[in-house]
Structure 1
């Protein structure tokens, strides 16, 4: 018998497996490649919601845990994962500048918003009103992380690369059985796949499709992330990730011409150099209407757990949420009420 069976190997599953390893708990992971939002994501971590100039939920505490967490993973996997990148918010008017400076003067935002106006010096970007700089930002190479972590688990024979079959799951009061695996607890970290989970499909996981382009722009020579109507994220070797779209109707991982057209129209509104689209990807983010994660114990089965609903902020949220779930299971420490799935228990 192992301590845990972990289903799903995106940011949520990886974070939880890492917490288990650090606490000397045994586990087996099961994962297919059906949910790809962690892999195709831009991986940007940014503490500020730039549409409204507000601080993201619990972001200070989450960042304090996330950065050391990923640095430890870099050492463990012997792979570069974290890239510090300034995020520059492009202003569209004097009014936007003023709103930025008002926000930068608020005590909770001061550590994250520079009070200095940054003037544009890139002739290939139109930004006559300049930029505001967000502090404490960067990019996690999520695709590299998922690939390297899965390979590490495969080498240790801790990963079963298959689609989870719920018909083969047997639940007992003291353990669960899945095929030949016996575990004390099972954690579902399957992203949007939670929608087809018969034990947790009562949870209001909506799913929001996001599409991103990768463009090659040799003349652009921009080392900062530019946030305008879209993000432009430098990826090295003249490549830039451009995104993202938000589609609440389409729940497929198939890239669409409509999203490509939308992204290119927004990009062309402020980029003034030639480029070539070299990649186009899509994935469904596990989003929740109240914009809070879905973490906790099943209301009827005490050894079934969910770790999900991180939306577009998985890079920042995942390590802290994984630790909270572990503390619930092992130490009976309550999860923050805002993310605890017990807020929906009466709907199960």
Structure 2
């Protein structure tokens, strides 16, 4: 049996989930991280199993939700930190058509785990602008992203599995599989949005999206539910709320912008009448592929050189399941799902 030793470049959400999965399999690994994981720390961490535009289940939701529930519970116990908080998600319908689609889903057994009956007016907050009705989506809740990142980094540093450093591509010998003169059996790039500048995987069709989130205070909101329509209002364990989020393409700046702030506040006005105070503003860049599917797999030319990236806006829902699938793939136990395998881009984006 081959003994694996894996180098992971990137200690964001992807690198953390890979680390825990490798540890579960007793595989030696090291994470190198530049300690600037903007999107993983900034993300609201809301786990939403529905796509509201067409009122359908998110891709692979039936598989992802049970897996992440078990995975995150195990990690919380292992690192002795709480970061997954159960909460209800209230969707305020955007139109009569959306309400009609919801009713259709209520009568569809395939949606029984996610949709709930339409709420009565007496159970609806008076600050919600509710012209077309609302209903709750069954969801595991949300990940406190900052707590998740900081606690997991502390854990892996204590285990001597994580070091802060800028990855030096010139110190990588891809033929001999060494980095800084140390040998590994496999190297996995999990760099988030910085992956588009990777000299080995930069050919992949990254379509990274900047997202911005406001931190707000209000004495009106309920603290036991998330509100959602064109934006979301999410209670946090600290007693404030997150208002998000925006999408902006073709930028690498992680600086908050006035335009995004104004856009979020305008969307909020369509959702609620509650008076709010803005107390914070953060931005991050989501690593996303052009086809909105993760980008996993081996480089077509360099053996044992891999990428684990492109999880996008629903990363906290996708990462546990695909980290498990990816480690099985590294161990030679199972192939990757064709929808996420980067072989789908070889012909168009890589010249042999």
Superposed pair shares fold, TM > 0.5: yes
After TM superposition, the score normalised by the length of structure 1 is: 0.95
Q: Does the Cα contact within 8 Å between 2:55 and 2:98 map onto a contact in 1?
A: no
Deviation at 1:180? 4.2
Alpha-carbon distance between aligned partners in 1 of 2:116 and 2:221, rounded to the nearest angstrom? 24
Deviation at 1:229? 1.6
1:297 equivalent in alignment to 2:321: no
Q: Using a 3 Å threshold, how does the CA distance of structure 1 residues 184 and 237 change in structure 2: closer, same or farther?
A: closer
Task: Indicate the residue corresponding to 2:337 in structure 1.
Answer: 336
1:158 equivalent in alignment to 2:161: yes
Local SS of the residue matching 2:34: coil
Q: Using a 3 Å threshold, how does the CA distance of structure 1 residues 86 and 221 change in structure 2: closer, same or farther?
A: closer
Alpha-carbon distance between aligned partners in 1 of 2:156 and 2:119, rounded to the nearest angstrom? 47
Q: Which residue, out of 144, 156, 160, partners 1:141?
A: 144
Deviation at 1:95? 3.6
Deviation at 1:118? 4.1
Deviations 1:183-206 (A, max 9, x none): 111111111111111111111111
Task: Indicate the residue corresponding to 2:172 in structure 1.
Answer: 169
How many residue pairs are counted as aligned between the two chains? 346
Local SS of the residue matching 2:186: strand
Task: Indicate the residue corresponding to 2:26 in structure 1.
Answer: 24
Deviation at 1:160? 1.5
Deviations 1:81-108 (A, max 9, x none): 1111111110244443222101332332
1:79 equivalent in alignment to 2:84: no
1:64 equivalent in alignment to 2:69: no
Local SS of the residue matching 1:66: helix
Give runs of aligned pairs for residues 47-126 of structure 1, distance below 5 A.
Answer: 47-119=49-121, 120-126=123-129
After TM superposition, the score normalised by the length of structure 2 is: 0.94
Deviation at 1:33? 2.7
Task: Indicate the residue corresponding to 1:268 in structure 2.
Answer: 269
Deviation at 1:156? 2.1
Alpha-carbon distance between aligned partners in 1 of 2:193 and 2:261, rounded to the nearest angstrom? 22
Q: Using a 3 Å threshold, how does the CA distance of structure 1 residues 254 and 168 change in structure 2: closer, same or farther?
A: same
Alpha-carbon distance between aligned partners in 2 of 1:77 and 1:160, rounded to the nearest angstrom? 18
Q: Does the Cα contact within 8 Å between 2:144 and 2:236 map onto a contact in 1?
A: no
Alpha-carbon distance between aligned partners in 2 of 1:330 and 1:209, rounded to the nearest angstrom? 34
Alpha-carbon distance between aligned partners in 2 of 1:133 and 1:332, rounded to the nearest angstrom? 39
Deviation at 1:125? 2.5
Q: Using a 3 Å threshold, how does the CA distance of structure 1 residues 220 and 186 change in structure 2: closer, same or farther?
A: same
Deviations 1:128-165 (A, max 9, x none): 43312111341011211111111111122221201111
Q: Unmatched 5+ residue regions in structure 1?
A: none
Q: Using a 3 Å threshold, how does the CA distance of structure 1 residues 194 and 54 change in structure 2: closer, same or farther?
A: same
Root-mean-square deviation (Å): 1.7
Q: Does the Cα contact within 8 Å between 1:87 and 1:137 map onto a contact in 2?
A: no
Give runs of aligned pairs for residues 211-226 of structure 1, distance below 5 A.
Answer: 211-226=212-227
Deviates more, 1:131-140 or 1:118-127: 118-127
Q: Unmatched 5+ residue regions in structure 2?
A: none
Task: Indicate the residue corresponding to 1:192 in structure 2.
Answer: 193
Q: Does the Cα contact within 8 Å between 1:217 and 1:238 map onto a contact in 2?
A: no
Deviations 1:52-85 (A, max 9, x none): 2011111111222111100011111111111111
Alpha-carbon distance between aligned partners in 2 of 1:237 and 1:23, rounded to the nearest angstrom? 35
Q: Does the Cα contact within 8 Å between 1:122 and 1:222 map onto a contact in 2?
A: no
Q: Using a 3 Å threshold, how does the CA distance of structure 1 residues 118 and 191 change in structure 2: closer, same or farther?
A: farther
